[in-house]
Every structure is written in structure tokens, then in C-alpha cells.
């Protein structure tokens, strides 16, 4: 507010509303990155750019703001100055300097008065040299001192807006709203001229200007360099500036150095100034101010060659001349940033394309990956991309020299000294990729039928069976990603018994199979017990009658007429990413399908396409050929003689427990005998086929399957 001198009758001293600062979080992000990646311990001053705009609200002043782009780029190829685009009406660029220290003690020990004086000297030299007339933003130079504590993600900082002191001080003859100063005709002309000035890219961010009013009330807004031309035309001239202040009785801080510039440049004793303010992007002469300042007619000021004194350190939130401190630990921690970025990708997908996408179901789903090889590595990464955070990897192998080329979670370091266990190395890699993942490793071999065990090894094998069963019980979805058929048998049995979501991915030389197993034949063995978690409870209680066809979908072994034996599967490297992605897509589809694990097989362009879910169809099997670049969806219903998931096998397991498992492991034909496959193969071998050798010309007798 305006104040008077001690004695009444003297002119009022012109008082200015101080500049206020604002720092966007992005600035601290960029400063941290710049410090870590380029600056290191270098404490050299950093050129920065602040931004401000005219006041645009009757009750709120605009601030000088630092943004991420206020700092120079990190690339060493580019100059160490901020890359600022011009022509933004809401961002008038102002040059500044940043002094960032390496320690809090260094920050506190800075000679802040000397730094302020040095920056004020630049303003003074710009006035004397005429540079301020060419680039008026130089009158608004500012400085920031800071200490970036990157361990705790806290930042100490202090702004200074150097202002040259006029002594004796400037007095004000009159100060009122611009709408009351100008005539009615001039109000309209000034408004139009200012709006035009602000609409042009070449002038919209020029903070100081001239308002030239002719005798016929015609108004033009001009650059400072055109002052003499305005005087020659006999026009009335006001010195205008973008005023960030909203107060009705005080001009903003930019006027201080502007008055010094006017006095030194043109030796004017009386200055009419125009505090330009806006409302909703247009000139508001009710909010803007016009005043007349009187600069003392002092010969000493005219002859003043030494730099005048300066003030300008900003007060903190408590009104004290002291630095500020902000803690951004919650937003600056890399793990939190990674979580926020990953979640944002999925949220954008939901917001823009899939409103029904349930991110909570995905983030809470617990996935068990049996096999940490080519498929396991890819599936784990795809799961994280979909927002799955709880992943357990089980494998007994070690990383060999050939693995890193095909298995994306491993590097050469994992192969050294005999090789790290794959499960352990994979979990370490997942945590490096995404620190928020809740990944666990299990180093264990899966007991397999066709691999008899010695009597002294039985207890160890049975303990592995118990451990595997417990793991399957405690997870919501199980991926069978091992290299051999027989290693998938025991998990398939346990999953069928517990009614768990089970997805198999298998690779041939140039082909792949991805499929989801159907629900268990007898329901969950834990139906009478308390559910392990909400998701498992929801999956386990889905009624099998939801399947319209009334038939369960088959498992990986349902189309086999032999028990699993010791067979290795060769694979082509290019198939793994394709099969892995499809396997994860199947899981996401199951989790979002109303029928869950019991969802029937769906086909593209089928009769029930009207029931298609937002994520698309939910097939049973996807088989692809790399050599043919082809892919097809198939369905296979559960076999009553399946060696892994039929009711006979599951019932026998529930009856005999681990004794059943041990007998299946040690006796290769036991499962075939139990399920009737032995009799079936004998019957098939006794058939005699009578071939019809007659040929005909009617092609309609043949049908392509």
C-alpha cells in the first residue's frame, strides 16, 4: 500500500509489491538428473530461465516460475544454456542464474549479499550499455541459491530479485485504475492496442513497452527503442510493463529497475507508468493501474556512475528473510517414479480404450512361473508390463554361456563362476528393471514321471512335491514354461486339484502352443477352508455350469494317449516373445472374464461374438507356425482318460496323496493303467481296417478338415 512521509503534505513514497517465486516439481527432477548425469561435484553457476506473465486474477498475483525447461539440456553436444521457445503469452522468459552447492554447509556459507550485488551489477551494466533497451527482460534478472540433497530428496533454496535503489526515493503523484485515468475513447483504444500487442508472437512475451496516445485518442503499443519517434509525433507516452501484482494500490516489482532505466536513458523527472494486468487473457483496465512517478531532480543521480545499492532477497512463507526447504521424497524416489510411470501407462489405456480394465485385479494377482528359461524371462517381463507386481520364479538350472542371447533377463555376469541359479538371477534382474516388483525365487527341480528315484532320495523328492503344492496353493495363476513335457505333469495335476488358473506355453522348432487349462474336474480341494485371498476365492468358487457346453476345457495332456516320458523340446528363439505375450494376454483375459477359469472357448467371428469381452475373445488354444507365418485358435475338451486332470487321477491323488505321486514317478505305465489308456491302445492295435480301393470322380465325397 502507499505510505506518506512522516510530515503530512509531502508526496507519497512509491512502494512496490515484491516478486514471488514458484518452483515446479519438474525443475527439481531435471536439476537432480543434471546433477547426477552431468554436473557431478561442479558448483559452477548455471544459467536458468524463469517465466512470468501479467496478473490475471483480481485476488492472486502471478509468480516467477521455474519449470523443467528452465534448466539447460543434459546433452553435451548442446550449449549449456536453456533452450527456450519464444512467443508464449503466458511465459515471458526472464534470465537468471543458479548457484547449487554440494553440501548444506556450503549453501549456508554462501556470501549471499555479494551474489545479489553481482547480479545487480549486471542489470546496471545492461542499463548503461543500452542492452536493456534491446532486450528489456534483462531488467528482471534474478538469482537462486540452492542445495539439492539427493539422498533425502530435499531441496533448500532462496530466490533474489535484484532491484536498484533510487536515493532519494521515487514519489508518486497519482495512482488509480487505468479505466479512470483514460478517457472513454482512450480506454477502448488502449484495450484494443494491448490485446493486439499480446496476440503477436513477436511481442507477446516482451515485458516492457510504450503506450503512445495521439491527439485524436489513437493508441499504439511500441518497443522502448521507439520513444524518440513517439515524442517527435507529439504523442502522450506511458511506460508500460507486465505487472504480476494484483494489489490495487501498488505496482509490481518490475517497475523498480524500469524507473532507473528510464531516468538514466532519457533523464525524465516525471514518468507516467502503466501497470498492465489482464482478465481471462484480455486487457483489464479496471484491474490495471496508471500512475505518475516523480524522480528526484538530483544532479548526483544524473552523474551516478557507480552502481547503486540493491535489495531483493525474497521472504519465506513466514515473512522472514530466510531460505525455503521442500521435501519431494515421495515423488522424487526412483522407485516411486517408476511405479507412477508404469501405472500411468495402464491408466491411460483404461481411460482411453478400456474403461473396464481392472488394474487392482492385475496388481494383486500372484503369478507362479515354473521355468525361468526363454519363456519364463519373457513372461515375467510381459506380466510386469501389464501391472502384475507379485511374481515367483521356480527353476533348478544355472545360467550358461549360451543363455543371455535368448533369455532376456540374464547377462554375461550371470554366467561366470559356474553360473548363477536362473531363478535367483532372474529375480535380481526384475528388481533392477522395476524396483517395485515383489519377485521371489525358488531353486527346485520338479519331480517328473518317467524319472524313477532311489529309495534314499524319496524323502527329498516328496518334500519337493509338498513345496510345489504349497506354492501352487498360494498363487492365483500358474504358468507352465518348462522345457520338457514330463515336468509339466505334476503342476498340471496340482492345479487341476486346486482349480487354479493354469497357462501352458510350449515351443517346437518352428511352432508354438499357448493354451489355458480348464477348471478342475472335482472343484477346489479347499472349498471348505478359508480362501487364501480375495482373488483366489473369486476364482475358486466360479461354478462349472457357467460353461454353456457343459464340458470342461482340456489341459496340456488331454490329447495324449501316452503318459509323459523323458522328452526334451527344441525351440526357435523368435517364437518365445510371441508365445510369451499370448500367454500373458490369456491370463489378463481370464481375470477379466465373468466366468473366469470356466470361460468357454471363444473364436473370432463366432456365433456368440455378441458376448465378446472388451479385451477380445478368450480362446482355449493358440497354435502358430513360424515357417508358415500362421496362427490358429483351437479347442480341446477334457479327456476322461487324461493322465493329469481327469477325475480318476485327481480322485486317486486326493485319496492316496504323495504315495500316488511316488508310484507315478517310479512306474512309467502306472498312469496309463489307471486311466485306461493301456486297454485303449490294446484295443486300437487289434482293429483291422478294410480299405475301399475304388476311386471316383466326385470331389464332393471329400471334405477338408
Kindly report the three-state secondary structure assignment for every residue of 111-162.
CHHHHHHHHHHHHHHHHHHCHHHHCHHHHHCEEEEEEEECCCCEEEEEEEEE
Is cis: bond before 453, omega within 30 of 0?
no
DSSP state of 597: G
Low-confidence residues in the chain, pLDDT < 70: 1-11, 75-84, 298-305, 332, 352, 523-550, 560-573, 605-612, 683-705
Return d(Cα 586, Cα 602) in angstroms, integer. Answer: 12
Q: Is 165 helix (H, G, I), strand (E, B) or coil?
A: coil
92-146 confidence digits (pLDDT tens):
999 999 999 999 999 999 999 999 999 999 999 999 999 999 999 999 999 999 9
DSSP string, 296-336: ---HHHHT--SPPPEEEEPP-TTSSSS-EEEE-HHHHSHHH
What φ, ψ does residue 506 adopt, rounded to 5°? Answer: -135, 145
- The pTM of this model reads 0.56
| Residue 85 CB coordination number (10 Å) | 9
Return d(Cα 92, Cα 44) in angstroms, integer. Answer: 26
Q: Where are the beta strands (DSSP E) in 377-498?
A: 390-395, 438-443, 477-480
Return d(Cα 12, Cα 56) in angstroms, integer. Answer: 27
- Taking CA atoms, 266 is separated from 130, 134, 260, 302, in Å, by 12, 15, 10, 10
Return d(Cα 346, Cα 367) in angstroms, integer. Answer: 19
Angle at 73 between CA 70 and CA 79, to 5 degrees: 105
Return d(Cα 17, Cα 33) in angstroms, integer. Answer: 35
293-322 confidence digits (pLDDT tens):
988 775 556 666 678 899 999 998 888 899
Q: What is the pLDDT of residue 164?
A: 93
Amino acid at each position: 500500500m502507499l505510505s506518506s512521509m512522516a510530515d503530512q503534505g509531502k508526496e507519497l513514497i512509491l512502494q512496490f509489491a515484491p516478486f514471488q517465486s514458484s518452483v515446479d516439481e519438474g525443475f527439481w527432477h531435471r536439476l537432480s538428473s543434471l546433477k547426477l548425469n552431468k554436473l557431478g561435484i561442479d558448483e559452477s553457476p548455471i544459467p536458468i530461465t524463469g517465466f512470468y506473465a501479467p496478473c490475471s486474477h483480481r485476488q492472486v498475483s502471478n509468480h516467477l516460475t521455474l519449470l523443467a525447461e528452465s534448466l539447460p539440456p543434459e546433452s553435451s553436444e548442446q550449449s549449456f544454456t536453456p533452450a527456450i521457445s519464444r512467443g508464449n503469452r503466458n511465459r515471458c522468459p526472464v534470465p537468471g542464474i543458479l548457484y547449487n552447492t554440494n553440501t548444506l554447509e556450503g549453501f549456508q556459507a554462501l556470501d549471499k549479499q555479494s551474489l545479489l550485488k553481482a547480479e545487480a551489477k549486471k542489470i546496471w551494466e545492461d542499463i548503461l550499455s543500452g542492452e536493456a533497451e534491446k532486450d528489456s527482460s534483462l531488467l528482471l534478472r534474478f538469482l537462486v541459491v540452492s542445495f539439492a540433497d539427493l539422498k533425502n530428496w530435499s531441496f533448500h533454496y532462496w530466490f533474489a530479485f535484484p532491484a536498484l535503489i533510487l536515493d532519494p526515493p521515487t514519489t508518486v503523484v497519482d495512482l488509480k485504475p487505468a479505466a479512470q485515468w483514460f478517457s472513454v475513447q482512450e480506454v477502448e483504444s488502449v484495450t484494443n492496442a494491448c490485446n493486439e500487442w499480446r496476440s503477436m508472437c513477436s511481442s507477446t512475451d516482451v515485458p516492457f513497452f510504450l503506450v503512445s496516445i495521439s491527439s485524436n485518442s489513437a493508441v499504439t503499443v511500441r518497443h522502448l527503442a521507439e520513444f524518440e519517434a513517439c515524442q517527435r509525433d507529439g504523442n502522450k507516452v506511458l511506460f508500460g510493463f507486465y505487472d504480476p501484482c494484483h494489489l490495487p494500490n501498488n505496482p509490481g516489482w518490475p517497475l523498480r529497475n524500469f524507473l532507473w532505466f528510464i531516468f538514466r536513458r532519457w533523464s525524465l523527472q516525471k514518468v507516467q507508468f502503466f501497470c498492465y494486468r489482464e482478465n481471462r487473457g484480455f486487457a483489464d483496465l479496471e484491474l490495471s493501474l496508471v500512475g505518475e512517478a516523480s524522480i528526484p531532480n538530483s544532479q548526483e543521480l544524473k552523474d551516478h556512475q557507480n552502481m547503486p545499492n540493491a535489495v531483493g532477497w525474497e521472504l519465506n512463507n513466514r515473512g522472514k528473510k530466510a531460505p525455503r526447504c521442500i521435501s519431494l521424497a515421495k515423488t522424487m524416489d526412483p522407485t516411486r517414479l517408476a511405479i507412477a510411470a508404469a501405472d500411468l501407462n495402464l491408466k491411460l489405456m483404461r481411460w482411453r480404450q478400456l474403461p473396464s480394465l481392472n488394474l487392482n485385479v492385475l496388481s494383486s494377482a500372484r503369478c507362479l512361473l515354473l521355468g525361468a528359461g526363454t519363456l519364463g524371462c519373457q513372461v515375467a517381463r510381459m506380466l510386469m508390463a501389464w501391472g502384475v507386481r507379485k511374481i515367483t520364479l521356480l527353476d533348478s538350472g544355472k545360467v550358461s554361456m549360451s543363455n543371455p542371447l535368448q533369455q532376456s533377463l540374464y547377462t554375461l555376469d550371470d554366467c561366470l563362476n559356474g553360473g548363477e541359479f536362473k531363478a535367483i538371477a532372474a529375480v535380481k534382474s526384475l528388481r533392477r528393471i522395476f524396483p517395485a516388483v515383489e519377485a521371489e525365487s525358488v531353486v527346485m527341480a520338479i519331480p517328473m514321471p518317467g524319472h524313477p528315484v532311489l529309495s534314499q532320495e524319496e524323502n527329498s523328492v516328496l518334500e519337493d512335491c509338498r513345496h510345489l503344492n504349497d506354492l501352487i496353493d498360494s498363487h492365483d495363476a500358474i504358468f507352465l514354461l518348462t522345457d520338457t513335457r514330463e515336468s509339466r505333469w505334476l503342476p498340471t495335476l496340482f492345479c487341476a486339484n486346486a482349480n487354479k488358473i493354469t497357462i501352458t506355453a510350449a515351443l517346437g522348432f518352428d511352432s508354438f502352443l499357448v493354451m489355458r487349462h480348464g477348471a478342475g474336474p472335482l472343484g477346489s480341494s479347499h472349498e471348505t477352508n478359508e480362501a487364501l485371498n480375495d482373488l483366489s476365492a473369486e476364482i475358486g468358487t466360479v461354478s462349472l455350469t457357467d460353461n454353456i457346453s457343459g464340458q470342461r476345457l482340456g489341459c496340456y495332456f488331454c490329447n495324449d494317449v501316452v503318459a509323459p516320458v523323458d522328452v526334451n523340446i527344441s525351440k526357435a528363439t523368435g517364437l518365445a516373445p510371441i508365445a510369451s505375450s499370448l500367454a500373458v494376454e490369456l491370463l489378463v483375459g481370464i481375470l477379466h472374464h465373468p466366468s473366469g477359469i470356466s470361460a468357454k472357448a471363444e473364436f473370432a467371428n463366432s456365433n456368440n461374438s455378441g458376448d465378446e469381452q472388451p479385451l477380445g475373445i478368450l480362446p482355449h488354444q493358440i497354435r502358430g507356425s513360424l515357417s508358415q507365418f500362421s496362427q490358429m485358435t483351437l479347442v480341446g475338451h477334457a479327456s476322461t482318460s487324461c493322465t493329469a486332470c481327469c477325475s480318476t487321477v485327481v480322485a486317486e491323488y486326493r485319496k492316496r496323496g504323495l504315495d500316488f505321486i511316488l508310484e507315478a514317478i517310479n512306474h512309467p505305465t502306472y498312469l496309463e493303467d489307471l486311466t485306461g489308456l493301456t486297454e485303449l491302445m490294446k484295443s486300437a492295435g487289434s482293429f483291422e481296417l478294410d480299405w475301399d480301393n475304388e476311386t471316383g470322380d466326385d470331389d464332393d465325397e471329400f471334405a477338408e478338415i
